[in-house]
Amino acid sequence: MLITSIDQLYTYTHLHPGFERAGQFLMRADLPTLTVGRHEIDGDSVFAIVSECKGKGRHDARLEAHRNYIDVQYCLSGKDVIGFRPLAQCEQISEDYDAVKDAVFFADQAPEWISIEGSTCAVFFPDDAHAPLGGEGHCKKIVVKIRV
């Protein structure tokens, strides 16, 4: 897991070149006008999903992990609270891996929580389980997916 500001994503291109494209996208001036749904950046290699959602609270936020994509989670408006647990410590699968969704879900609880708001984003790699929407309020959120 990595916490950084959107204007610093490019500094992580040594980890993956897709961070530069993700940072460029999240710095666009027209972000507030983007509609809910998928937005192409570089085909299936890098793309963004815009959503408007209400937090579920820490108790109802489910840990998830992905095999094929890195998640860059950013709140365009509002605040998201995201739980974290290393994938190696997740023991209770609640929903088997779905290759179409590229997601597996766990019943384990997240022992650590972070807030993302303003220019802060959270980056989750395939070995990071994360529980988005652990807050209570409304947020407009962008998740940039970077293929590993």
Q: What is the pLDDT of residue 70?
A: 98
Domain ranges of the chain: 2-147
| CATH level 3 topology of 2-147 | Jelly Rolls (2.60.120)
Q: Output DSSP code: residue 146.
A: E
Q: What is the pLDDT of residue 9?
A: 95
The sign of the torsion formed by the CA atoms of 108, 113, 117, 120 equals negative
pLDDT tens for each residue of 75-104: 999 999 999 999 999 999 999 999 999 999
Q: What is the pLDDT of residue 79?
A: 93
pLDDT tens for each residue of 4-56: 999 999 999 999 999 999 999 999 999 999 999 999 999 999 999 999 999 99
Q: What is the pLDDT of residue 95?
A: 97
Write down the pTM of the prediction. Answer: 0.96
Cα–Cα distance measured from residue 36 to residue 68, given in angstroms and rounded to the nearest whole number: 23
